[in-house]
Amino acid sequence: MPGAAAMARPTPDFWRGKRVLLTGHTGFKGAWLAQWLQLLGAQVSGLALAPQTTPSLYEAAGVGALIDERLLDLRDGAGVAAQVQSLAPEIVLHLAAQALVREGYQAPAQTFATNVMGTVNLLDALRGCASVRTVLVVTTDKVYRNHAGVHPFREDDPLGGHDPYSASKAAAELVTSSYADSFLRAQGVAVATARAGNVIGGGDWAADRLLPDAVRAWQAGTALTIRRPQAVRPWQHVLEPLAGYLRLVEHLWEQPQDGGAFNFGPPTDQAAAVRSVVELARAAWGGGEVLWGDGAEGPHEAAWLALEPAKARALLGWRARWDLAQSVRRSLDWYRRYRDGGDARALCLSDIADFSAERAP
C-alpha cells in the first residue's frame, strides 16, 4: 500500500475527464472544491442557489466561469431530476445546504426543507441514473447526539441534534443511508457521507463564523464580540476535509463496499477552544480588540465537540497536514492579501499548491 502522505493526495489521473456534479458550488467550501476539481481536470457541473454573502468567494474567484453551472434550488425536485438526467454525472458531491446553526434557529422550516428534502430530491434523481458510480453527501460534525465530552465522536455513535441545523443534518444522514440501502447500492453506486469539523480558510464571508467575524471587526477598527470563548471545536483548514472528500471518492470508485460515514477532523487532542483560535488570529492579524462573553448569550450550542478520524486514516491514508496555528495564519494571510488587492483565485490556487506539496505528518 502507498504511504499515508501519498494516499492523502488527490490523484489528477483519476479526476481528469470525470463528469462531476457538485452541489453548493456557490458556497465557501463549494467554491474552494470547484477550483480544485477544475485544477485536477474534472468536467465539473454545479447546482446551487446564487451566493448568499456579499462578497462571496464564488464571485471573487470567478468560479462560475470555471464550470458548467446551473443556478437551482434543490427543493425543486422536478428541476433537480431534469438537471441530473441532462448532465449524466459519474460522481456526485453534495455540499449544498443551509449551513449555519443560528440561521437554523431563525428559519427552522427552511433549514429542514433545504437540508433534508434537498438531499431527498438529489438522491431520488439518482435512482435509475445509469451514469453515476459514486455519491458523497457532506453533512457536519454536529450530527451526533452530543454527550458533553465523554469521548471524541466516532462514526458509529448515535445521531442526534439539539438545534434545527444539527437535526436536519442528522436527518440527511438517515435519508442517505436509506437511499443507499433501498436503491443505489443495488445500482452499483457507492454512497458515503462525510462529517467534517469546523472549517476555516480565506474567502468565507458568512455571518456568525469566527474568523469572518474577526476580519470584519478588525478591518473596521471595532471589537470582535465572542459569545462562548470556552467552546471547544475540531478546527481545520478548509483544504483538509476537501482533500478527504476527493480521496474518499477515489477509494470508493475502486472499493464501493467501503461506503458509509467518515469523519474528517484534526487529531483528537487538537480540538481547541474558541479563545485559543481568536488569540492565534489576533496574533496573525497584528492586533485587534476582543470582547469576551460568558457563554450565556444566544441559543443553545454544544460546549464541546471533537471527532475521531481513525477510519479515514486507516482506509484512505488521510490525516491533517496543517496544525491549528498554521491554518489560522494562512487564513488571516489570505484575507489580508485579498484586502490589499490580491486576486482571490490566485490566492486559493497558491494555498492548494502549498497544501498538495506538503507531506502529511
Concatenated DSSP letters for 57-95?
HHHHTTGGGTSEEEE--TT-HHHHHHHHHHH--SEEEE-
Q: Residue 348 class from Cβ within 10 Å (0-12 exposed, 13-18 middle, 19+ buried)?
A: buried
At 197 the pLDDT is: 87
At 9 the pLDDT is: 80
Phi and psi angles of residue 64, each rounded to the nearest 5 degrees, phi first: -60, -30
- Rg for the chain (alpha carbons), in Å? 19
At 295 the pLDDT is: 67
Q: Does domain 16-357 have CATH number 3.40.50.720?
A: yes
Label residues 89-101 b or e (16+ Cβ within 10 Å = b): bbbbbbbbbbbbb
Query: Comparing C-alpha atoms, which of 39, 27, 60 is closest to residue 349?
Result: 39
At 3 the pLDDT is: 42
Grid cell of 244 as nine digits: 478527504
Pairwise CA distance, residues 234 & 263, whole Å: 11
User: Residue 342 carries which DSSP code?
Assistant: -
Residuewise pLDDT in 10s, the chain (361 residues) = 344 444 468 999 999 999 999 999 999 999 999 999 999 999 999 999 999 999 999 999 999 999 999 999 999 999 999 999 999 999 999 999 998 898 999 999 999 999 999 999 999 999 999 999 999 999 999 999 987 666 899 999 999 999 999 999 999 999 999 999 999 999 999 999 999 989 999 999 999 999 999 999 999 999 999 999 999 999 999 999 999 999 999 999 999 999 999 999 999 989 999 999 999 999 999 999 999 998 666 676 778 899 999 999 999 999 999 999 999 999 999 999 999 999 999 999 999 999 999 766 6
Phi and psi angles of residue 213, each rounded to the nearest 5 degrees, phi first: -65, -40
Domain ranges across the chain: 16-357
Phi and psi angles of residue 273, each rounded to the nearest 5 degrees, phi first: -75, 155
Q: Identify the bridge partners of residue 94 per DSSP, sorted by sequence position.
A: 23, 137
Sheet holding 260-264, edge to edge: 68-71, 43-48, 19-23, 91-94, 134-138, 190-196, 260-264
Contact 89, 47 (CB under 8 A): no
At 146 the pLDDT is: 84
User: What are the start-end ranges of the H helices in the chain?
Assistant: 4-8, 12-15, 28-40, 57-60, 77-87, 101-106, 108-112, 118-126, 164-179, 210-219, 239-254, 274-285, 310-316, 324-339, 344-357
Cα atoms found within 13 Å of the Cα of residue 170, Cβ hemisphere only: 18
- What is the amino acid identity at position 341? G
Pairwise CA distance, residues 215 & 263, whole Å: 29
- What is the amino acid identity at position 216? R
